Structure 1
């Protein structure tokens, strides 16, 4: 998908219920209660934190382009998709992004692969002194340990790595452009990987579009890596998958819940506002379907809130709360979060 298509996809999900900046915070991976809960509310896991370096300037330009093209409308600080915008979304295409699972860490995986390939290529050409393409010290140490582990000087590691890469690139979900971008970004002996600008110019695409297509390739590879079929690349993917998707603060709160503390007690222990702990609860519930909310809200209240949400065709808290004054905003958020989990 291209950047404008992703924006339209997100806006289609949140139309009339969030501001024009909501997709920006989602793509950047903002760890606020609102953004985290929106991931679950609107089933937008694929796009969370896929563009952590996205500038507000580039985002605003894209939103303005969509507005001028009549793909979206802006009313009273809310963003709406138009019929023209809906028709521009490639709904027949399979989503290849998995932002919630990787949150930018796929770039660490890429740096490791790039440096491994460069190093093996240099040694194969008997050029042992070279400037590493990846300057990150942690990446260099990881790759050094990896190469030593596989005794790269006296093994056939070069061919094994090549075979595993080819195997993963043969995934039918990928097209030729995905595969080409992956290969063209690699560096080797007397060969430097092409820059985003060079690739964008060659394929007549925007830089952001090229980066997203490349990201789709990385996510697809990571989603399909296994120890059985790609043992070496599997080891290069160590610690790339997010095992604990909670933010550090929410993780600490969750640990206290597991010990039986209440929201009020946790707020006092951690010296945080109750609203902050409630945000943590929403984040925890978004990530853990088994987390019990019975101490915060009854099944009857959840059912009532979800029914009203469906009747009003909205997830706007104020509209629901106004009709159900006996429940709190926190309970409305909880019910909507649990409701989306049911429909996953």
Structure 2
């Protein structure tokens, strides 16, 4: 997928429900209650935090281009997709991204792999004095320990690693462009990986589109790495997948909830506003389908909220709250979050 395609996909999901900046916060991985809950509300896990370095200038330029091409409309402080935009979405390929599970850590995996490949290549060429392509100290130490652990001087590590990579790159979900980008980004003996500018210029793409195509390849590979089929790459991917998708602050709130503290008590103990604690609960519910919400909302209230949301065809909190004054905004958010989980 290209950047414009991703934007159209997200806007289609939130059309008329959110502002034009909502996709920007989602792509950047903003850890606010609104953005986190939108991931679940609109089933946008694939795109969360895939572009943490995205500039507002590049984003605004893309939105303006989509508007000029009549793919989207901006009205009443919300963004809407047009019929032309919907037609463009139906022509898209499957989504190969998994941002919710990696949140930028796929690049840590890439740095490890790139340095491991470079080091093995240099040693095979009997050139042990080389400038590492990856300057990050943590990456260098990880790869050093990894190579020693796998006895790389005796064990034919490079041959086995090449075999594992070959199997992963054969995945039918990937196309030749994915494979080309992956291979040409690698460095080795007398070989320096191509820059984003070089890849983009040769393939007549924007640098942003080139990065997304590469990201699709990394996510697809990581999704399919297993201890059994890819033991060497599995070790390189250690701690890359997010197993507990909670921010540190939400994790602390969750620990107190498990001990039986009320929201008010937690807010008092942590010296935080009650709204912040409520945001944490939404984040927790988004991450944990089995988290009990009956303490905060009854089954009858959940039914009322979801029935009204369906009737009005909206997930706008204010519209629902105005029709159900007896429930709180927090309860509306809870009901909508749990409802979307059931449809995942």
Alpha-carbon distance in structure 2 between the residues aligned to 1:222 and 1:176:
18
- 1:331 is matched with 331
- 2:129 is matched with 129
3-state SS of 1:74 partner: strand
3-state SS of 2:89 partner: coil
- 1:228 is matched with 228
- 1:279 is matched with 279
- 1:107 is matched with 107
- 2:77 is matched with 77
1:16-56 deviations in Å (ceiling 9; x for gaps) = 11000000000000000000000000000000000000000
Q: Which stretches of structure 1, 4 residues or longer, exceed 4 Å deviation after superposition?
A: none
- 1:342 is matched with 342
How much does 1:90 deviate?
4.3
Alpha-carbon distance in structure 1 between the residues aligned to 2:45 and 2:325:
31
Q: Is the 8 A contact 2:29 2:49 kept in 1?
A: yes
- 1:256 is matched with 256
Alpha-carbon distance in structure 2 between the residues aligned to 1:242 and 1:271:
28
- 2:15 is matched with 15
Alpha-carbon distance in structure 2 between the residues aligned to 1:79 and 1:15:
6
3-state SS of 1:73 partner: strand
Alpha-carbon distance in structure 2 between the residues aligned to 1:156 and 1:342:
48
1:234-254 deviations in Å (ceiling 9; x for gaps) = 000000000110000000000
- 1:93 is matched with 93
Alpha-carbon distance in structure 2 between the residues aligned to 1:110 and 1:186:
9
How much does 1:88 deviate?
1.1
1:60-81 deviations in Å (ceiling 9; x for gaps) = 0000100111110111211000
Q: Is the 8 A contact 1:250 1:283 kept in 2?
A: yes
- 1:43 is matched with 43
Instruction: Say yes or no: does 1:167 pair with 2:167.
Output: yes
3-state SS of 1:79 partner: strand
Alpha-carbon distance in structure 1 between the residues aligned to 2:11 and 2:80:
7
Q: Is the 8 A contact 1:111 1:134 kept in 2?
A: yes
1:249-303 deviations in Å (ceiling 9; x for gaps) = 0000000000000000100010100000000000000000111110100011001
Q: Is the 8 A contact 2:20 2:77 kept in 1?
A: yes
Alpha-carbon distance in structure 1 between the residues aligned to 2:229 and 2:150:
17
Q: Is the 8 A contact 2:120 2:158 kept in 1?
A: yes
How much does 1:342 deviate?
1.1
Q: Is the 8 A contact 1:5 1:90 kept in 2?
A: no
Instruction: Say yes or no: does 1:205 pair with 2:205.
Output: yes
- 2:303 is matched with 303
How much does 1:89 deviate?
1.2
Q: Is the 8 A contact 2:5 2:92 kept in 1?
A: no
- 2:26 is matched with 26
Q: Is the 8 A contact 2:28 2:52 kept in 1?
A: yes
Across the two proteins, how many residue pairs are aligned to each other?
344
**Structure 2 unaligned residues grouped into runs of 5+:** none
How much does 1:93 deviate?
2.0
3-state SS of 2:79 partner: strand
Alpha-carbon distance in structure 2 between the residues aligned to 1:277 and 1:293:
14
TM-score, normalization: structure 1?
Answer: 0.99
3-state SS of 1:244 partner: coil
1:106-140 deviations in Å (ceiling 9; x for gaps) = 00000000000000000000100000000000000
Within a 5 Å distance, the mapping from 1:114-153 to structure 2 comes to 114-153=114-153
What's the C-alpha RMSD, in Å, of the aligned pairs? 0.7
**Structure 1 unaligned residues grouped into runs of 5+:** none
Instruction: Say yes or no: does 1:53 pair with 2:67.
Output: no
Alpha-carbon distance in structure 2 between the residues aligned to 1:74 and 1:337:
26
- 1:322 is matched with 322
